[in-house]
A and B are shown apart, each in its own frame.
Chain A
Amino acid sequence: MPVIAPKQKQREYDVVIVGSGAGGGQMAYTLTMEGVKVLVLEAGRMFDPVSETAMLHTWDMAPLRGVATPDKQYGFYDASVESGWDIPGEPYTNASNDKLRQFAWWRQRMMGGRTNHWGRVSLRNGPYDFKTRSRLGVGFDWPMTYEDLAPWYDKAEMLAGIFGDSEGIENSPDSSPGVLLPPPKFRAGELLARERARKLGVSVVPVHRAVLTRAQDADRIPQKLHPGNKKAQRLLAENMRLRLPCIYATDCHRGCSIKAAFDSTSVFLTPALKTGNLDILPNAMARAVTLNKAGKPSGVTFIDKTTGAEHHACGRVVVLAAGSQESVRLLLNSKSNRFPDGLANSSGKVGKYLTDSVASRVSGQIPALENLPLHNEDGVVGQQAYMPWWLAGQQEKLNFPGGYKALVVSGRGMPNLNTGKSFDRASEGDGIPFGKRLKEDARRYYGSFQSIGAQGAMAANDDCYCELDPAVKDKWGIPVLRFHWKWSADELRQVSHQQRTMTEILEAMGARFFRAPDIDQPEKAINQGGKIIHEVGGAIMGEDPAKSVTNQWCQTWDAPNLIMADGATFPGTADKNPTLTILALAYRAADHLVEELKKGNL
């Protein structure tokens, strides 16, 4: 079974999965390794990270020095094609004209989905993050504990290949021994941050990222992940041996042709195809989930983007993993007599409770980092060091619920088009620097700038949701989403705390600031909803079918053979990035689904 065109698809599959990213890829991998026949529908084209990514190209080889344009919205070399905030013919709308109340929606239309496009930061939610309501009185509890999910965090980490340390920090869980790969050494600015932040009671530790710092243990891990399944062990071991360790150059956002950085295509879909149990159908834009006569989900209608023709794929089980809000949109567009408000929506909760990371940043210039002896500071390029939330369990000290982590952005990274103007504020002299003075400024100040970016928790609220726009449709005639967004006072108070604390840490490093922090104007500092691309929710899991959309196995309450395998089921956003939890939840849901299929329960 291979990559196919619509007419080549089988009459029926065990499982039809919409989406090929973190959630869809993980489901496809786990199911096909267990012999389940799977079809993956992907709205974008095939994309091969091995042969299509420009890993070592310098900016002068790209059009316009590689800056972001409406065609390539995260820069030219970003491994995103046909993707972005604004996709021609695929609009979405916002109910408010106020920018602070608008949501920005990144869509990734390509094989592997958004796993092509992330910084690979892979942090576990902690025990408290599953009990937001009980602990803090806001948002929701998850219908599971950390301990329930922990074994799948271990499994997802072993499969993806994650570096990091176990630090014993409250609510920033350690992995089981032997699961993580060694973290990279710190850069000069990160070492300085660690030394100075310690005096403020803040620990700077290695971040966890899905990047191989050494080869995976292909002799041991496959047996752990696939006990008793020799074929799966062999295929996984073969695939692990195709992945090379990091070469300590080039940004993971460009994609990784040596497969050191995790993406769904390299890690999930490649071995899944070799099982013979997977068909992949690219350029297939899902329209709706169909029901059989008994009112059970029976497949997916989709548009072949290459011809415009509509087709139907049959599956005993349907998995939606199209990217949280895209999956929500599919539910809302799957209307029937039985489900007039959209599939799986008898609670009325589909589209509700969107959350995102609460993010702001502070930057400064550190004189101690000027004129350092020249050295290569690429490391694993991007984040290496972070500050896990240091006040977990000390809620009484705070005027907002939850916490945040902070990522250190430091280093003598590859210059870009903005480098030329980046020394203006630091430069001493008359007029903006140019000529000899600019060259001297550049040699002195390059690499001496440091940012700290905070990303915090957001509890679900009633003001952040999406629904179908009553009028607007995309170019295939499919109704689009309309977003409602409003930061609560909690998030804004958190951002004030972020701004104040990040400033203190940079001050402890001796920073000069060229812009005052927005401590008293957090609405100026906070990133727009969706801009961090961590949005989740819209089909949240819970204990109560009247108040949630799925159970803890990501099965919808209304139809157990319909599974939500992306971030849509998150009942809230923790101070951790969502992808690792998407992987662990999808892994757990897939294992559960295999059991249910074996028992004949679906």
Chain B
Amino acid sequence: MSSFEHPTTRRFVGNKSRVKDSRKGALPLALQTPKRPGDVDSDDRPRINRRVALQWISSATAAIPLLERDALSAERSGVRPKSVVAKGYGPDPDLLRLYRPGDLWPLTFTDAQRRLMIVLCDIIMPADESSPNASSLGVHDFVDEWISSPYRDQKSDRAIILKGLAWLDEETGRRDKNDFVSLPPQEQLGICHELARAAKADSRRFPGSFFYRLRNLVAGGYYTTPAGMKDIGYRGNTPQAEWNGPPPEVLKKLKLAPQ
């Protein structure tokens, strides 16, 4: 029963430092956003304005009037991706290990899909003065890990997200001889704004469903990284000898008496 013995030093210190060390190896993997071809000399291209973007979405919505609850609609639209055959991590996984996308099951994205996902990640969670963009935190790889997972919930997202990626490029190509990644950033953003409206109107109907699920994954993936947690204002998960409640400036703002 030696494993029940308490170590002489505080265990969490060891855990924390070990985890940090392994993170050092992980962080350089986070990719830089590739330079987007559409960033320059885009003026001579036909603009995708709001009207055009709306047309995209309404045509997609009209073409596929099914509820997006599972892979069914993706299958019917002919873009059903290769199904996942990998196994899950089982009911007794190592809880202490640091897991990276691709460790447990093979990833899915092609190079082109990955490039597109990086662009979308950074539209959904861009850099600003206080925090980095999503792709520099590897969130696109998390999305790939997610849609490649063998579990039921993620399989449902897999169908819709892969379909959405294909749809974005098909629509762009049909109108612009380009793919989505090559569009000028303003046009990309415009399309995403229309998708965000569609998602708010009905988060279960394609293509709003695609953008809704992608936004959830990218934003949730972002705020679960240390940089994302810092940006949102989370200051916890730090061992402390004592806890004294909220600081005086918080109590003052809430007009509450000190405890």
Residue numbers of A with Cβ under 8 A of B are 2-3, 45-46, 48, 50-67, 69-72, 76-77, 79, 81-84, 87-88, 184-188, 191-192, 195, 242-244, 246-250, 257-259, 265-266, 269-270, 273, 368-369, 372-381, 412-421, 424, 430-436, 438-439, 442-443, 446-447
Contact = CB atoms under 8 A, between A and B. Distances in A.
Interface string B124-135: 111010010000
A56 B153 CA distance: 26
B90 interface: yes
B113 interface: no
A376 B240 contact: yes
A375 B249 CA distance: 10
A248 B126 contact: no
Interface in B204-227: 211-212, 215-226
Contact of B11 (A76, A88, A258, A432): A258
B180 to A, nearest CB: 16
A84 to B, nearest CB: 7
9 contacts: A2-B1, A56-B15, A57-B95, A70-B152, A191-B246, A192-B254, A258-B11, A435-B192, A442-B231
Given A69-B88, A195-B256, A377-B236, A184 B243 contact: yes
B225 A48 contact: no
A71 B89 contact: yes
A280 to B, nearest CB: 9
A428 B12 CA distance: 42
Interface in B224-239: 224-226, 228-229, 231-239
Contacts of A53: 95
Contacts of B5: 50, 242
Contact of B256 (A67, A191, A247, A375): A191
Nearest to B221: A65
Interface string B48-74: 000000000000000000000000000
Nearest to A247: B239
A58 B91 contact: no
B12 A380 contact: no
A420 B216 contact: yes
The 4 closest A-B pairs by CB, nearest first: A420-B219, A431-B196, A185-B245, A378-B236
B115 interface: no
Given A69-B88, A438-B219, A187 B246 contact: yes
A314 to B, nearest CB: 24
Interface of A, helix, strand, loop or mixed by DSSP = loop
Contacts of A273: 1, 4
A434 B220 contact: no
B11 A430 contact: no
Contact of A438 (B12, B125, B200, B203): B125
Q: Which of A54, A67, A185, A415 has the most CB of B within 10 A?
A: A415
Contacts of B149: 63-64, 69
Interface of B: 1, 3-7, 10-12, 15-16, 19, 23, 88-93, 95-96, 98-99, 103-104, 123-126, 128, 131, 142, 145-146, 149, 151-154, 189, 192-200, 203, 211-212, 215-226, 228-229, 231-247, 249-251, 253-254, 256, 259
Nearest to A52: B95
A83 B92 CA distance: 9
A241 to B, nearest CB: 9
Contact of A416 (B88, B224, B259): B224
Contacts of A76: 93, 95
Contacts of B236: 249, 376-378, 381, 412-414
Contacts of A446: 232-234
A434 B250 contact: no
A322 B4 CA distance: 22
Contacts of B93: 63, 71-72, 76
A188 B145 contact: no
Nearest to A192: B254
Given A3-B1, A56-B239, A432-B196, A83 B91 contact: yes
B126 A436 contact: yes
B123 A435 contact: yes
Contact of B91 (A66, A72, A434): A72
Contacts of B189: 435
A415 B234 contact: yes
A71 B152 CA distance: 11
Given A48-B3, A83-B91, 16 more contacts: A48-B4, A52-B95, A71-B91, A257-B12, A258-B6, A273-B1, A372-B250, A372-B254, A376-B235, A415-B232, A417-B220, A417-B224, A430-B200, A434-B123, A438-B124, A439-B128
A414 B229 contact: yes
B251 to A, nearest CB: 7
Contacts of A249: 236-240
Contacts of A415: 223-224, 228-229, 232, 234
Contacts of B237: 56, 58, 249-250, 378, 414
A442 B223 contact: yes
B96 A52 contact: yes
A419 B214 CA distance: 14
Nearest to A57: B19
B219 A419 contact: yes
B235 A248 contact: no
B1 to A, nearest CB: 5
Contact of A71 (B11, B90, B192): B90
B224 A56 contact: no
A348 B149 CA distance: 48
A447 B233 CA distance: 9
Contact of A50 (B11, B16, B218, B244): B11
B243 A185 contact: yes
Given A378-B237, A438-B219, A61 B98 contact: yes
A62 B152 CA distance: 18
Nearest to B208: A432
A443 B90 contact: no
Q: Which of B194, B203, B216, B243 has the most CB of A within 10 A?
A: B243
A66 B95 CA distance: 10
B148 to A, nearest CB: 10
A66 B217 CA distance: 13
Contacts of B16: 56
B6 to A, nearest CB: 4
Contacts of A70: 88, 151-152
Contacts of A51: 3, 11
A70 B224 CA distance: 21
A385 to B, nearest CB: 11
B91 A84 contact: yes
A62 B5 CA distance: 27
A184 B242 CA distance: 9
B19 A61 contact: yes
Contacts of A413: 234, 236
A251 to B, nearest CB: 10
Nearest to A79: B95
B131 A82 contact: no
